Chains A and B, each alone.
Chain A
Amino acid sequence: MKEITRYAKIWWILTIGTTQIAFASRFGAAIFMIGKLLRFAFFLLFLVVLISKTHSLASYSFWQVIFFYATFNLVDTLPQFFLRDVYRFRYQVVSGYFDYILTKPFSPLFKALFGGCDVLDFSMLLVSAGFIGIAGSHIGVVTIGNAALYILLIVNAFLIALAFHVVVLSMGILTTEVDNTIMLYRDMTQIGRFPIEIYKEPLRGLLTFIIPVGIMMAFPAKAMLGLLSVQLIILSFVVGFLLLFGSYLFWQYSLRHYSSASS
């Protein structure tokens, strides 16, 4: 318990520090945020234009499709707030800063994942949550059970995202290649902007279970709509746990083979 408080305190100091630094270039940060909102709005426009013609997508109604997109957006935005420092990792390894992190009595994995949260990003998270509220209010009756399941599966989705980011960090240690890997993760998760059912098998299976975009993005929304079977719910959590555990093992492996920046 004491450890958790200590980590929470350190996380807070790191976050305040990062936010102060980001505040100095707040003009750029504001433009960046406008860009993200535009990206969100434009894709929404695309969706609306599509559904207005086709009237339904893989047997989902207009607001259901929007809800899927809103869910995707939340699962996409969560790591962008919490795991921001992964995007800075390459620089930290190459500059030797990571060496300092390794010599501190503090989990280097925690620092590399959560050490760079910017409070300004939090506003995007709120917008995403707000949007879910709007879309959610149009999809009909939602039971408390389904809503709880939804939240749990969102957390699970975040854990899967976390596992991917740990893999990205591990690869960064072994190869100093981070940027492409992280963008690869983003490329793959983009698939979740549409309900997975529009794809036929075997592609659908591949996207749902192998690259678990389906589990991350589609399953929470389906659970909210009451469309997810118990087996798949359990499977989601099992997959989440396995991926997280596996990624942690990979991280340990990469540290053993760390060669450090040269002087």
Chain B
Amino acid sequence: MKKYWIIARGIMEETMTYRLSFIMWRFRGVLQFLVLYYLWLALLPGNQTLFGYSQSRILTYVFASTLMSAIIFSTRVAELGETINKGDLSNDLLRPANYLLMWAARDVGDKLMNIMFSIGEFTILFIILRPPFFFQSNPFFLAATVITIAIATILFFFINMLLGCIGFWSNETWAPRFIFTILLQFFSGGLFPLDILPKPLFAFFSATPFPYLLYIPLKIYLGQLSFFEIGKSFFIASAWMIGVYLLLKIVWNKGMKLYTAQGR
């Protein structure tokens, strides 16, 4: 177990090595949050509601989504494709550690960095901006939020690994990843709550895993989903998680056969 912690710690140290890069990275995150925050503040001034959201609800949505993103979306797995392309995979596989867990450990390191600093920034911004934040008090909803965040984190991890596997077949892993990032930006609910979309569109994207990565945990936190809907979400999100994992296993084995056949 200790070796995985060392891997995670290595990622954390690496992040802080380049001081300017680190500061820029955090600054960008804060900036992106502020842009979104002020946008929704401008769209929903005062006591009106828009698409069923009050100012309090939507600003809570924005704040919470930033914190949750730090947990769910921070990852190093984007480097997997390149690792395979460059042949560094061979080095990694020689190590006496479970390969999947190694990447998970790197992600844990990345997530810890993100969470630590996000909480710090969140607190400072909260004090400065004084948003009308909605604190969820229902323990059931809170528990459900935590569970869906966990499922979302694992699901996202598997999807990323799957995308990285493209590296077995092609040198251009970044292009599909770019499209994935675009889809993620819009349809996981980071920019706007997905239910503002017209019903047919909303139904269409609900058939993809995207909403379950951020939108669903946020809705559960806001207490806007019924018990039945929460149960349904658990089920679908878990199904995606297991499904992607099984697909990952198949694709990985196929990819490894090809990789070793090329004599690397």
Indicate yes or no for A touching B, C-beta below 8 A: yes
Answer yes or no: B5 CB below 8 A from chain A CBs: no
- In the complex, what residues of B have CB within 8 A of residue A198's CB? 39, 42-43
- In the complex, what residues of B have CB within 8 A of residue A42's CB? 182, 185-186
How many residues on the B side are at the interface (Cβ–Cβ under 8 A)? 34
Q: Please tell me if the beta carbons of A180 and B25 are within 8 angstroms of each other in the complex.
A: yes
Answer yes or no: B172 CB below 8 A from chain A CBs: yes
Q: Please tell me if the beta carbons of A203 and B179 are within 8 angstroms of each other in the complex.
A: no
> How would residues 23 to 46 of chain A score, 1 for a CB under 8 Å from any chain B CB and 0 otherwise?
001011101101100110011011
Q: Please tell me if the beta carbons of A194 and B39 are within 8 angstroms of each other in the complex.
A: yes
Answer yes or no: A13 CB below 8 A from chain B CBs: no
How many residues on the A side are at the interface (Cβ–Cβ under 8 A)? 33
Distance of B18 from chain A, by nearest CB (Å):
7
With A25-B172, A190-B35 in contact, is A183–B28 under 8 Å at CB? yes
Query: At the interface with chain A, which of B64-72, B189-197, B223-231?
Result: B189-197
> How would residues 1 to 34 of chain A score, 1 for a CB under 8 Å from any chain B CB and 0 otherwise?
0000000000000000000000001011101101
Distance of A170 from chain B, by nearest CB (Å):
13
Answer yes or no: B235 CB below 8 A from chain A CBs: no
With A31-B179, A35-B178 in contact, is A49–B172 under 8 Å at CB? no
Answer yes or no: A259 CB below 8 A from chain B CBs: no
Answer yes or no: A54 CB below 8 A from chain B CBs: yes
- A260 CA to B183 CA, complexed, in Å: 40
Answer yes or no: A252 CB below 8 A from chain B CBs: no
With A35-B182, A46-B192, A198-B43 in contact, is A177–B18 under 8 Å at CB? yes
Answer yes or no: B31 CB below 8 A from chain A CBs: yes
- A45 CA to B175 CA, complexed, in Å: 23
Q: Please tell me if the beta carbons of A191 and B35 are within 8 angstroms of each other in the complex.
A: yes
With A35-B178, A39-B182, A187-B32 in contact, is A46–B191 under 8 Å at CB? yes
Which listed residue, B21, B50, B179, touches A38 by the CB 8 Å rule? Answer: B179
Main secondary structure of the interface of B (DSSP, over half): helix
Answer yes or no: B171 CB below 8 A from chain A CBs: yes
- In the complex, what residues of B have CB within 8 A of residue A177's CB? 18, 20-21, 24
Q: Please tell me if the beta carbons of B42 and A180 are within 8 angstroms of each other in the complex.
A: no
Which listed residue, B18, B25, B42, B181, touches A200 by the CB 8 Å rule? Answer: B42
Q: Please tell me if the beta carbons of A28 and B172 are within 8 angstroms of each other in the complex.
A: yes
Q: Please tell me if the beta carbons of B197 and A49 are within 8 angstroms of each other in the complex.
A: yes
Distance of B72 from chain A, by nearest CB (Å):
20
Distance of B75 from chain A, by nearest CB (Å):
17
Task: Report the nearest A residue to B31, measured CB to CB.
Answer: A187
Answer yes or no: B198 CB below 8 A from chain A CBs: yes
Answer yes or no: B176 CB below 8 A from chain A CBs: yes
27 residue pairs of the A-B complex, CB under 8 angstroms, read A25-B172, A28-B175, A31-B179, A32-B175, A34-B179, A35-B175, A35-B178, A35-B181, A35-B182, A39-B185, A42-B186, A49-B197, A50-B196, A53-B50, A54-B50, A177-B20, A177-B21, A177-B24, A180-B20, A181-B24, A183-B28, A184-B24, A187-B31, A187-B35, A198-B43, A199-B42, A203-B38
